[in-house]
Amino acid sequence: MIEVKFVRLFIAINFENEMINKLVGLRDDLQETSSCGRFSLPENLHLTLAFLGECDDKQTAAAKAAMEKTTLGPFDLVIDHIGRFKRDGGDIWWAGVQENKSLLDLQQKLSAELRKNGFRLENRKYSPHITLGREVETSAKPRPIEQLGETVSKIDLMKSERINGKLTYTSIYRCGKRVTPIVVEPYNPKWATEFEKIRSYLLSKKRGHFLFEKHRN
């Protein structure tokens, strides 16, 4: 008999170290004002786009295919508040994402591709958050915070498992591009001469009038 192996999967945005350090600062602030709670490890801080649950090999391949079909242009993501989901036995506290059309588009496109590939996803409204702590009892209040953020250009298929009792998330597949910095050439005085030649030529032919006059202060 063939044994079918299942893995617990979700698709998430992971962050660079600088952003993780800032999120750890928020987690530490929360922990300091809490009498109890299970607080997220730095390596587990992420933003979930879709929770897939237990998947076999075929579903894992289908999830990868859906990610590939979801186009991802780099966009800026900003965290600007701390909030909570009320729960009996201790709340879930999180860092909240500022309203972001690019993020919602990404989440919706990805969900549509996942559904096409057979996944049954939750129909709840997407509420983007980065969990800082669970089962938290605290005197802290939900509040706006100084903005922090980074440019997002990739998404990860994450495996969730307990290793020696420790909740461990591992990226098993990554989609998207690293952001390539725009290279600005150093100023070259030759350009000024060339530009002046073109400008004089166009003005002499009365072709460049609109182009050059429009931007004159």
Which residues are at the interface with ligand 2AM (CB under 6 A)? 10, 48, 51, 92, 131, 160
Which lies closer to ligand 2AM via its Cβ, residue 117 or residue 160? 160
Length of the chain: 217
Q: Which residues pair with 97 in a beta bridge?
A: 79
At which residue do the structure tokens 């009996």 appear? 88
Three-class SS of residue 160? Answer: strand
Q: What is the largest CA-CA distance in the chain?
A: 85
Which lies closer to ligand 2AM via its Cβ, residue 79 or residue 92? 92
Which lies closer to ligand 2AM via its Cβ, residue 98 or residue 208? 98
Q: Whole-number minimum distance, CB 175 to ligand 2AM, in Å?
A: 18
Q: Whole-number minimum distance, CB 149 to ligand 2AM, in Å?
A: 18
Q: Whole-number minimum distance, CB 74 to ligand 2AM, in Å?
A: 22
Which lies closer to ligand 2AM via its Cβ, residue 135 or residue 202? 135
Q: Alpha carbon 131 to chain centroid distance?
A: 14
d(CA 39, CA 143): 19
d(CA 193, CA 23): 51
Q: Which residues pair with 33 in a beta bridge?
A: none
Q: Which of 180, 155, 158, 92 is nearest to 129 (CA)?
A: 92
Q: Whole-number minimum distance, CB 11 to ligand 2AM, in Å?
A: 9
Which lies closer to ligand 2AM via its Cβ, residue 127 or residue 200? 127
Residue 24 backbone dihedrals phi, psi, to 5 degrees = -60, -35
Q: Alpha carbon 209 to chain centroid distance?
A: 46
Which lies closer to ligand 2AM via its Cβ, residue 51 or residue 173? 51
Q: Whole-number minimum distance, CB 47 to ligand 2AM, in Å?
A: 8
Q: Whole-number minimum distance, CB 18 to ligand 2AM, in Å?
A: 21
